[in-house]
């Protein structure tokens, strides 16, 4: 929407309980306008003397737990998004989910305490300097840690303990301007305990808009992350192997705890495989956007290292070189990986608009698709779009295995877990699928409600009109 800072200011004033805000794609909204959400007091004067004497953060910023603000601030000064993100991260202690331009550089700025970089921004916008905001956040975090420690002592064995003074209270004599970061020690019953960590710990769980270079700082500030969405730009001075090492090292902090991982990357899938070997064991959702493929793209290896996936979404460029079918392409079905928890599968390939059908040159992809269909009996949503390989034969083979009454496992209710048996939504745009195959899938799954076979060149209008009367399934064809 065409909202600007006045809208954000109104929201900040009137919605004191607001927990979720999405202003993505609001191009008239400047990054600095988001500071109204933080309880920042603005001054009409940009004088540094006025700033130092009269500006501060209000004690009650909005209790936002989710703030999404990607693709905003067209025409704003370079660096504003980074500075605004730094203020937001320090000022909103309840944030758990955030999507911001400049999020990665802001984490580096905070982690390395290079607050002077934001001085010009602070003077121009008439807000407190960033080191002041950081100091208040550290004090608040230290006080919270102290309170938690006191609560833990109260819930302990009940032994008498000496009264512990809060070293973060006013008048404690601690000079917080100097010698930061610090680790204070306090005495309780002859034991010394750490009162605070040497740095700031953010409560973020889900971040979008970070880059490979910022993963180190992000790991130090946000050790509890469960979901990361990354935009990786190809750089000439960083080869695929080095990129894989950077990603692997960066993601190691959250190994075993990541649930969702998303990459926007225009390089080959193989560059991402080392990182997936570190992070894939716990993933429930994996998204790859814009990746390049070849006949040797290790999709099976990718599936193997992510055994818990419920959602697998891949939008890719098709191979530029053809691969002709050989005996080496056929693998023993017993050795193929499975995704037994998979609910949503999307394999979408770009295509030339002047082509009626994609160039079918990646023959080994058939084995990957069959592996996913047979090994994912809980699949509910299937999108196979502009595949660079024949699909109809793969679907027929999958349905043929079901008709042969193979030994399939059963769910808790005793119902057999058949491939495609629980499918509800199917997109097969620009594939060689035939209407007879579509009808077979309709007969197999009683849950199927929607099928899109637009631009499928082997389906005629007459077949489509006939199929439209088939049960209650909506069939789309163009």
Cα three-residue angle 327-295-320, rounded to 5 degrees? 135
pLDDT: which is higher, 109 or 242: 109
Contact assessment for residue 368 and residue 389, using Cβ atoms and an 8 Å cutoff: no
Helix, strand or coil, per DSSP, at residue 320: coil
What are the two backbone dihedrals, phi and then psi, of residue 89, each rounded to the nearest 5 degrees?
Answer: -65, -35
Q: Cα 176–168–13 angle (5° rounding)?
A: 90
CB 279, CB 246: distance < 8 Å: no
For the ranges 1-5, 205-209, 319-323, the lowest mean pLDDT is seen at: 319-323
- Alpha-carbon torsion (165, 166, 171, 172), positive or negative: positive
What residues pair up with 450 in beta bridges, in sequence order? Answer: 425, 474
**Position with higher pLDDT, 439 vs 402:** 439
pLDDT at 331 over 70: no
Who contacts 15 (Cβ-Cβ below 8 Å, separation ≥6)?
62
Measuring CA to CA, which residue among 317, 259, 261 is closest to residue 287?
261
Could you give the angle at which helices 80-91 and 103-111 cross, rounded to 10 degrees? Answer: 60
Lowest mean pLDDT among 197-201, 230-234, 341-345: 197-201
Higher pLDDT residue, 393 or 211? Answer: 393
Burial environment of residue 175 by CB neighbours within 10 A (0 to 12, 13 to 18, 19 or more)? exposed
Q: Among 10-14, 184-188, 348-352, which is the least confidently predicted range?
A: 184-188
Burial of 380 from C-beta contacts in 10 A (0-12 / 13-18 / 19+): middle
Integer CA distances (angstroms), 216 to 91, 115, 275, in order: 22, 18, 14
**pLDDT above 80 (res 167):** no
351's tokens? 């295509």
pLDDT tens per residue, range 19-58: 999 999 998 899 999 999 988 766 655 433 333 333 344 4
- The answer for residues whose C-beta is within 8 angstroms of residue 171's C-beta and 6 or more apart is none
Computed over every residue of the chain, the mean pLDDT equals 81
Strands 227-232 and 206-210: parallel
Higher pLDDT among residues 148 and 304, named by residue: 304
CB atoms within 10 A of CB 389: 26
Domain ranges of the chain: 1-206, 207-476
pLDDT at 370: 93
Report the share of the chain in percent with pLDDT over 90: 49
Structure tokens that stand for 53 in this block: 């004497």
- pLDDT bin (cut points 50, 70, 90) of residue 79 is confident
pLDDT band of residue 324 (cuts 50, 70, 90) is low
**pLDDT at residue 141 in the model:** 73
Strands (E), 52-146: 66-69, 97-100
- Maximum mean pLDDT: which of 69-83, 139-153, 266-280: 266-280
Tell me: the pLDDT tens digits for 255-301? 999 999 999 999 999 999 999 999 999 999 999 999 999 988 999 99
Backbone angles phi, psi at 392, to 5 degrees: -60, -40
Report the alpha-carbon angle 197-203-207, nearest 5.
130
Say if residue 361's pLDDT is above 90. Answer: no
CA quadruple 448, 454, 458, 464: dihedral, nearest 10: 60
Over residues 217-230, mean pLDDT:
94
DSSP string, 95-109: --EEEETTHHHHHHH
Residue 452: beta bridge partners?
427, 476
Question: What letter does residue 172 receive in the DSSP assignment?
Answer: S
In the DSSP assignment, the letter for residue 178 is S
Arithmetic mean of pLDDT, 346-358: 85
Question: Which residue pairs, CB below 8 angstroms and at least 24 apart, start in 91-94?
Answer: 91/35, 91/38, 91/39, 91/40, 91/57, 91/61, 91/133, 91/137, 92/37, 92/38, 92/61, 92/62, 92/64, 92/67, 93/61, 93/137, 93/140, 93/141, 93/203, 94/19, 94/63, 94/64, 94/65, 94/203
Residue 242 CA to residue 269 CA, distance in Å, equals 14
pLDDT at 306: 96
**How far apart, in whole angstroms, are the C-alpha atoms of residue 245 and residue 243?**
5
- Range 207-476 classified under CATH 1.10.357: no
Alpha carbons 258 and 6: distance in angstroms, whole number = 38
SS3 262: strand
């Amino acid at each position: 929407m065409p909202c600007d800072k006045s809208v954000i200011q109104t929201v900040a004033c009137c919605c004191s309980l607001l927990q979720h805000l999405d202003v993505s794609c609001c191009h008239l909204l400047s990054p600095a306008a988001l500071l109204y959400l933080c309880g920042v007091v603005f001054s009409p004067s940009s004088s540094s003397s006025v700033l130092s004497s009269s500006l501060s953060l209000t004690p009650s910023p909005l209790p936002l737990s989710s703030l999404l603000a990607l693709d905003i601030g067209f025409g704003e000064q370079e660096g504003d998004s980074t500075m605004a993100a730094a203020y937001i991260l320090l000022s909103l202690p309840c944030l758990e989910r955030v999507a911001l331009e400049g999020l990665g550089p802001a984490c580096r700025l905070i982690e390395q305490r290079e607050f002077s970089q934001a001085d010009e921004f602070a003077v121009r916008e008439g807000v407190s300097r960033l080191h002041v905001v950081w100091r208040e956040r550290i004090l608040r975090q230290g006080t919270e840690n102290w309170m938690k420690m006191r609560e833990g002592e109260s819930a302990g064995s009940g032994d008498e303990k000496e009264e512990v003074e809060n070293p973060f209270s006013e008048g404690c004599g601690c000079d917080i301007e100097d010698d930061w970061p610090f680790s204070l020690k306090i005495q309780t019953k002859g034991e010394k305990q750490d009162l605070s960590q040497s740095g700031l710990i953010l409560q973020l769980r889900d971040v979008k808009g970070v880059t490979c270079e910022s993963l180190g700082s992000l790991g130090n500030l946000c050790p509890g992350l469960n979901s990361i969405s990354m935009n990786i730009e190809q750089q000439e001075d960083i080869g695929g192997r080095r990129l894989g090492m950077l990603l692997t090292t960066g993601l190691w902090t959250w190994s075993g705890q990541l649930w969702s991982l998303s990459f926007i990357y225009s390089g080959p899938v193989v560059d991402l495989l080392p990182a997936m070997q570190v992070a894939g064991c716990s993933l429930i959702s994996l998204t790859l956007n814009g990746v390049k493929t070849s006949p040797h793209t290790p999709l099976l290896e990718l599936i193997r290292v992510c055994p818990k996936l419920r959602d697998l979404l891949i939008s890719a460029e098709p191979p530029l070189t053809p691969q002709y079918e050989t005996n080496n392409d056929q693998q023993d079905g017993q050795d193929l990986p499975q995704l037994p928890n998979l609910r949503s599968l999307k394999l979408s390939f770009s295509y030339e608009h002047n082509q009626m059908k994609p160039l079918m040159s990646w023959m080994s992809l058939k084995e990957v698709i069959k592996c996913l269909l047979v090994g994912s009996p809980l699949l509910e949503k299937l999108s196979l779009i502009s595949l660079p390989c024949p699909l109809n034969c793969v679907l027929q083979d999958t349905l043929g295995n079901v008709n042969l009454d193979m030994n399939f496992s059963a769910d808790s209710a005793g119902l057999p877990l058949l491939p495609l048996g629980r499918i509800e939504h199917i997109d097969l745009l620009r594939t060689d699928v035939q209407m007879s195959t579509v009808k077979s899938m309709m007969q197999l799954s009683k849950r199927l409600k929607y099928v899109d076979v637009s631009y499928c060149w082997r389906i005629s209008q007459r077949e489509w009109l006939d199929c439209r009367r088939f049960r209650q399934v909506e069939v789309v064809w163009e």
